[in-house]
Structure 1
Amino acid sequence: MPQIAIRGLELRYRLEGPEGAPVVAFSNSLGATLEMWDAVLPMLAGRFRTLRYDTRGHGGSETRDRPTEIADLAGDLTGLLDALGIDRAHLVGLSLGGMTVQALASAEPERIPSVTLMATAAHLPSPQMWNERAATARSQGTGALADATLARWFTAAFAECAPEAMQIVRERFVTCDRTGYAVCCEAIGRMDLRPALSRIAAPTLVMAGRDDPSTPPAMAEEICAGIAQAELVVLPRAAHLLAIERADAVGSYLRAFLDRCKAAHA
């Protein structure tokens, strides 16, 4: 899978789909990789050109052990779009990816025709909790956080009926670079995107899992209240990693939303 140097870091990415089609760029969750979108992409096949990448410090992307903000992660995505010659892109992000997308969409609204935010927040206290999680990752690795994380990411029913999918997610999580994970935790702890929400001008789809303990529907409602053209979908039988647990529903809603946005810009 190709890599490209962006702002001094090598980022792993994957660009697929018909040339000339509208581009949809996906940003992954904390502790996940670009493969988290695998089950959603078939719903967009033939309609859109899709760009996925590993957030710095995740999967095959490099990181640096230095203070990092969500704006820096947004800058990575901006740099990737620029390097690939992509002037405009629909943005899709889940959890940390949704925070990255909020930051980019508010900073460069003119190049973003639509925004989709899944299982995310504009503010996620407390800094102490995120710093403690970062410290655990640095000292013990992400494996020490795996059980508690997966319990938040998926409902018990999904964990019981999809053990193979759970194992794949676990393997990717425990191999996440401990420094990359910690740096992103610290960035989340310092984040407050609430003042930026009003600068997101594009139509925005906000999706939340009804059973998500990490970013519950109330956080999605707060995002919607701050964005002029936002609509909310709350998925039943879903916790945090919606793109895996409810890939069918996520893909269906996302495709319908992107088709509407594409028609509006035709």
Structure 2
Amino acid sequence: MNRLLANGTVNAAQSGEGPPLFLLHSLLSDRASFAAIVPGLARSFRVIVAELPGFGRSQAVSGGLAAVADRMAEAVKDAAGGGDAIVLGNGYGGFVALQMAIRHPGIATRLILADSGAAFSEPGREAFRNMAAAARARGLSAITEVAMRRLFAPEFQAQHPDLMADRRAAFLRTDPEVFCATCDALAALDLRPELGKVKVPVLVLVGEHDEATPPPMSQELAGGLPQARLKIIPGCAHVPQLQSPALFLDMIGDFLPALQKAQ
């Protein structure tokens, strides 16, 4: 079932019943990257898979990542109806979830930040600046293969040609202006001084082979949060929930008691 949240500005798909669980997708993918785990989660939760502002049918917002986080906080409050919410963000969605928790204390009871961080290294910032420059000059097609390498290891790509064709098509549907603006925002972002404001339990996950947000970023993130634990997902890259959905659900099971009971 599709829902419009935050005064009709955020498009989201909803399934299942129970406590609200929000899933926020990465920059280089879309909400379909969660499709393989939603059925398992929906046995225990009311799963709300949102399209971030400027993606799919969600309206874009100006004002950088802070404005995106504010818009998504509005969507969470709208859908949760004042109840407890859990937020799971992958990649860019993890940065949004983290910024949302910093700016809106109490918006979530728990966070799962998969393949994310608090700040990029200088090489990481330069990679975003380069992608934005190439996309502005030649369009998203010029960086599609770079984007796919940031999502999946070469071996995985070779073994899953149909999935990769789908992921390339999804990436090319991204609004180029939104993509470039987000690259600029991530290149400048540093949330490390504010991590102490996140008082809720956080599970930090990262794929062992993630090149987009490498494991040291997650290690730094977990180390700066008051209540965090880190798990490294073996054999996976930037979108572990798509690459190895059963393993991903197993890794988050002990952090989500309701899910553990249903398994």
Q: How high is the TM-score relative to the length of structure 2?
A: 0.90
1:245 and 2:243 aligned: yes
Deviates more, 1:157-166 or 1:253-262: 253-262
1:203 Cα shift?
1.1
* Alignment gaps of 5+ in structure 1: none
Q: 1:200 aligns with which of 195, 198, 201?
A: 198
Asked whether the 8 Å contact 1:29–1:94 carries over to 2, the reply is yes
Task: Say which SS state the counterpart of residue 57 (structure 1) adopts.
Answer: coil
Cα RMSD for the two superposed structures: 2.2
1:85 Cα shift?
4.8
Could you tell me which residue of structure 2 aligns to residue 76 of structure 1? 71
Could you tell me which residue of structure 2 aligns to residue 218 of structure 1? 216
Measured in 2, the distance between the counterparts of 1:128 and 1:211 equals: 20
Amino acid across the alignment from 1:74: A
Alignment deviations for residues 195-237 of structure 1 (CA, whole Å, 9 cap, x no partner): 1211111111111111111211111110111112211111111
What percentage of aligned pairs have identical amino acids?
Answer: 25
Q: Where in structure 2 are the equivalents of 1:167-206 lying within 5 Å? A: 167-206=165-204
Task: Say which SS state the counterpart of residue 190 (structure 2) adopts.
Answer: coil
CA pair 110-85 structure 1, distance change in 2 beyond 3 A: closer
Alignment deviations for residues 24-44 of structure 1 (CA, whole Å, 9 cap, x no partner): 111110032111111111221
Task: Say which SS state the counterpart of residue 208 (structure 1) adopts.
Answer: strand
1:166 Cα shift?
1.1
Could you tell me which residue of structure 2 aligns to residue 90 of structure 1? 86
Could you tell me which residue of structure 2 aligns to residue 62 of structure 1? 59
Could you tell me which residue of structure 2 aligns to residue 120 of structure 1? 116
Q: Where in structure 2 are the equivalents of 1:20-39 lying within 5 Å? A: 21-39=18-36
Q: Where in structure 2 are the equivalents of 1:93-112 lying within 5 Å? A: 93-112=89-108
* Alignment gaps of 5+ in structure 2: none
Aligned residues: 258
Alignment deviations for residues 92-123 of structure 1 (CA, whole Å, 9 cap, x no partner): 00111010111111223323111100111100
Asked whether the 8 Å contact 2:20–2:80 carries over to 1, the reply is no
1:47 and 2:37 aligned: no
Could you tell me which residue of structure 1 aligns to residue 155 of structure 2? 157
Amino acid across the alignment from 2:40: M
Measured in 1, the distance between the counterparts of 2:155 and 2:131 equals: 26
Alignment deviations for residues 67-87 of structure 1 (CA, whole Å, 9 cap, x no partner): x32211111111112333532
Could you tell me which residue of structure 2 aligns to residue 4 of structure 1? 4
Asked whether the 8 Å contact 1:134–1:186 carries over to 2, the reply is yes
Amino acid across the alignment from 2:78: A
Measured in 1, the distance between the counterparts of 2:47 and 2:108 equals: 14
Measured in 1, the distance between the counterparts of 2:109 and 2:5 equals: 26
Alignment deviations for residues 107-164 of structure 1 (CA, whole Å, 9 cap, x no partner): 2332311110011110014455423322322332222111011112112221122111
Could you list the structure 1 runs, at least 4 aligned residues long, displaced by more than 4 angstroms after superposition: 260-263
1:15 and 2:14 aligned: yes
Amino acid across the alignment from 1:116: I
Measured in 2, the distance between the counterparts of 1:261 and 1:158 equals: 28
Measured in 2, the distance between the counterparts of 1:41 and 1:216 equals: 25
Measured in 2, the distance between the counterparts of 1:149 and 1:254 equals: 26
1:3 Cα shift?
5.7
